[in-house]
Amino acid sequence: MTKVTYKDAGVDLEVYRESMSRIPRLATRTFSPRVLDLAGGFAGLFQLDFESPLFRREYQDPVLVACTDGVGTKLKVANACGEHRTVGIDLVAMCVNDAICCGAEPLFFLDYVAMSHDDPDLLEQVVEGISNGCREADCALLGGETAIMPDLYSRGEYDLAGFCVGVVERRSVIDGSAIVPGDCVLGVASSGIHSNGYSLVRKVVFETAGLDIGERVEALEQSVGDILLQPTRIYARPVRQVLNHYRVKNVVHGVAHITGGGLLENLERIVPAGLQLQLQPGSWDVPPVFPWLQQLGEIPDDEMNRVFNMGLGLVVIVSPYYTKSIQQMLQEFGLASWVIGEAIEGEAGAVWK
């Protein structure tokens, strides 16, 4: 009888060990003193507060905030380009940007990487991006899991999922209930397409227009691959700066991460009964990548607005008196922002004016 090994089934444990040996340095570079050492453990340990009096948070009634997400079919673009160092940033951003909508401070992040076969170089590149994203979000890459599944993925394919935990004082939770008539709707610039709508993007760019991944788009002065792999912007630091600055004032009444569903659907999630967010078309600068895509695929306006962020990755609803001050703070982080509408009395939801 023939003896069969795990390697015969597509999983090489020696190569797997090599892959695992490359990961710890990428995780530890994200650690703060709140991460506790548990060498060789089955889980990560994280203390809620600092021991040092200088950095102590002294929570009174902390609430944990948890978010999970993936990158989606943008990974197909990464595979076509052979560039895997940026999609990890997307993974962190899609989770962390959701957590900050509650006013949370991101604490730690876990990743799950599913691969077709053991590939230490590929895994290291992917986790390097995750590590970079965690550093940008000021959260620890506390742990993760790598699964090798040769029968589930075609050779060279992989998938990513992530999980973020944050914390916020119960009295400081932002849920939209504080929105009142007259509040300003402040749109914050995205870095482009972010990580939503890539099934439509790929169909338009590669099938309809027949473009090649390395083809240069003169109008955007970049290659197709560079355009489509622009990482999702992480808003954790600027939002925390704004919230910490106005810690004792009720200034920020709502925050929405603009992902699939566009502006209207994501804003509707935080609007309380009896109020309506009235948005002004043309009140912000739409990045040229969106008209380029729309022209390539002759995509209708309503479809563009429903699928993409259209240049606004985050929306913050604030008291009008503080709008200019908040915009100035965002500008210090290199973020453009625009007043794109206001809250009025009316049927709950978000509408175009």
Residue 5 banded pLDDT, cuts 50, 70, 90: confident
Query: What backbone phi and psi angles, to 5 degrees, belong to 76?
Result: -65, -35
| CA atoms in the 13 A half-sphere facing the CB of 55 | 9
Q: Is the pLDDT of residue 249 over 90?
A: no
Residue 12 banded pLDDT, cuts 50, 70, 90: confident
> What is the three-state SS of 204-271?
HHHHHCCCCCCCEECCCCEEHHHHHCCCCCCCHHHHHHHHHHCCCCCCEEEEEECCCCHHHHHHHCCC
Q: How many CB atoms lie within 10 A of CB 158?
A: 23
The residue ranges of every structural domain in the chain are 7-172, 184-352
Residue with tokens 């959260």: 139
Query: What backbone phi and psi angles, to 5 degrees, belong to 143?
Result: 175, -175
Determine the average pLDDT of the residues in 257-279. 96
DSSP string, 97-110: HHHGGGTPEEEEEE
Superfamily covering domain 7-172:
PurM-like, N-terminal domain (3.30.1330.10)
On average, the pLDDT of the chain sits at 94
- In CATH terms, 184-352 corresponds, of 3.90.650.10, 3.30.70.1560, 3.40.30.10, 3.30.870.10, to 3.90.650.10
What per-residue confidence (pLDDT) applies to 318? 97
Determine the average pLDDT of the residues in 242-266. 93
Q: Do 7-172 and 184-352 come out as alike in CATH topology?
A: no
Beta bridge partners of 337: 188
What per-residue confidence (pLDDT) applies to 42? 86
Q: CB neighbours of 293 closer than 8 A, spacing ≥ 6?
A: 193, 201, 204, 205, 299, 304, 308
Structure-token pair, residue 21: 């040996």
pTM over 0.85: yes
Structure-token pair, residue 108: 């730690």
pLDDT in tens, 290-338: 999 999 999 999 999 999 999 999 999 999 999 999 999 999 999 999 9
Q: Which residue type, as a one-letter code, is found at position 113? A: V
Q: Which of 110, 122, 105 is nearest to 48 (CA)?
A: 105
pLDDT in tens, 24-50: 899 999 999 999 988 777 899 999 988
Q: What percent of the chain shows pLDDT beyond 70?
A: 100
Structure-token pair, residue 11: 């999983």
- 222-223 vs 184-189, strand pairing mode: unpaired
